[in-house]
Structure 1
């Protein structure tokens, strides 16, 4: 593999001149640029990105940490960050944390060591204290889908409590009172907030249900199937279901169909997120829209602004969920 010394020898210039050409220094003459460029092409030399970054103080990359890149929710997040990054002539590096503190820590350390210009971080395993320490180290780090008071002006979050409240209240307005909850078994803030929103909506409307109406499962279609099966096994009177996300709702819909329970005629179903699957299950899913694309775009723009050390007015950025009415809820 050719080295910078080989290029200098081929171009008959000094190593310093080659370095100036590689880093686009205005001190490099036109003749030097031409000779060094020809030499690099002839030798197949590719400049070391890390070395260039040390000189320019920029890698032209944005680091993104997500839970699992295979999840369409995170795919939307990554696409939005990538779009904003490209507008700034930057590329993205992606790490998976799987909502596990150790995996998040390793992925975040790798992104930082890669000298990313800015970071958009979705972390659920790491503590507030650890994320505050990382944020103090990396001034261009923005946290998405989480609110930490000490970093309020660098957090982009959603009011998950309000979203679950809206979903439950919508069922209540349609005449439902026997409303079950398919909750996530992940120990994260989102899961807790959504259960609290569900319970608050019931309480505010004078509805009291036993804890058996809440069933936990993995936040995917398999988890929805298992949780719905467990609910049916309890022989509870259920006319409505609020699911943690659209995938749990989709899994629950399949179990209801297998057991001859018509949706929405016998049981109404509410999802959460408004992902692509919500439009294609049968019946089409009434859900709560999670504006992850808008949130990710805002996070990327904020991170890049911080990287450029642009002054900005401090603000707390909490997005609001909205209802999306389709076909899976029916008035009693």
Structure 2
């Protein structure tokens, strides 16, 4: 493998000149740039990114921690972050945390060790205290979908409770009094907040609440199928279902169809997230919009400003979900 010394020899210049060309120094002359560029091409020389970072004090990289990059929700989150990164001459490094304390910690430490100056962190397993400690180490670190009061100015979050309350309230306003809920089995704050929103909406409208109307599953189609199957087995007089997310709603629709229960004629369904899948289901899914693209873009911009020590103006950090009315809910 060619070294910087090999390039200098081939271009008939000093190592210092090659270094100036690599670092785009204004002191590098046109002839030197041409000679060094030609020599690098001939030798197949590739600059050492880590070494250049030590010189420039920058790797031009932005780190992102997600639950699982293969999950469509997190794909939708990463895309706008990548757009902002590209516009600012940055490249992305992505780590998966899988809602595991150990894996989240290892991923963040790896991103820090790769000298990422900006970090957008979606962490559900690490404690507030550990995330606060990481934020002190990395000025450009921003949390997404997490709120920690001590570092509130670095948190881009969604009001999950309000979103689930809106969903349940919408069913109630359409005449439904016996409403089931399919909850995520993941031990994260989103699950607790959305379940609480469902419960509080029932209480606000003086409707009975019973744990028997709630079933749990993984937040995907299979989890929705399992939870809905278990709920049907109880023989409850349910006319509507609120779900943790659109993927659980998709699994629910499949089970209802298999059992000859027509949606929305026999059972109304409402999802959460307004993911791409929602408008392609049959019937098209009424849901709650989670503005993840807007939030991710905001998080990336905030992270860059913090990393560059720019002035931060007070702006929207807690986002509000809204209803998306489609065809899976009817009045009774």
Name the TM-score, length of structure 1 as normaliser.
0.98
Secondary structure at 1:209 match in 2: coil
Q: Distance in 2 between matches of 1:189 and 1:223?
A: 18
1:258 and 1:220 map into 2 onto residues whose CA distance is 18
**Structure 1 residues 1-332: aligned runs within 5 Å:** 1-314=1-314, 317-332=317-332
- Partner-residue secondary structure (3-state), 1:181: strand
Quote the offset at 1:327 in angstroms: 0.5
**CA-to-aligned-CA distance 1:191-227 (integer Å, 9 cap, x gap):** 0000000000000000112211011110000000000
Contact conserved, 1:58 with 1:117, CA < 8 A, in 2? yes
Greater mean alpha carbon deviation, residues 164-173 or residues 46-55: 46-55
Asked if the contact 2:199–2:209 (Cα under 8 Å) also holds between the matched residues in 1, the reply is: no
How many aligned residue pairs are there? 332
Measured after TM superposition, the shift of residue 316 of structure 1 is: 6.1
Aligned-residue offset at 1:15? 1.6
User: Counterpart of 1:242 in 2: which secondary structure?
Assistant: strand
Alpha-carbon shift at residue 30 of structure 1 (Å): 2.5
Tell me the distance in 1 between the aligned counterparts of 2:70 and 2:313. Answer: 35
Are 2:118 and 2:303, in contact at CA under 8 Å, matched by a contact in 1? yes
Tell me how far 1:86 sits from its aligned partner.
1.1
Moved over 3 A (4+): none
Structure 1 counterpart SS, 2:94: strand
Query: What's the offset of the Cα at 1:314?
Result: 4.5
Aligned equivalents of 1:40 and 1:260: distance in 2? 68
Paired with 2:8 and 2:96, the residues of 1 have a C-alpha distance of 41
Task: Name the CA distance, whole Å, in 2 between partners of 1:146 and 1:177.
Answer: 32
Structure 2 contact 183–244 (Cα < 8 Å) conserved: yes
Distance in 1 (alpha carbons) for counterparts of 2:315 and 2:105: 27
Give the match's secondary structure for 1:130: helix
Distance 1:174 1:39 in 2: 73
Q: Distance in 1 between matches of 2:33 and 2:234?
A: 76
CA distance in 1, matches of 2:147, 2:4: 47
| CA–CA separation in structure 2 for the residues paired with 1:291 and 1:34 | 48
Distance 2:41 2:33 in 1: 12
Please say if residues 117 and 138 of structure 2, whose CA atoms lie closer than 8 Å, have aligned partners that are also in contact. no
SS in 2 for 1:219: coil
Does structure 2 conserve the Cα–Cα contact (< 8 Å) formed by 1:152 and 1:316? no
- C-alpha distance in 1 between matches for 2:229 and 2:151: 41
SS at match of 2:7: helix
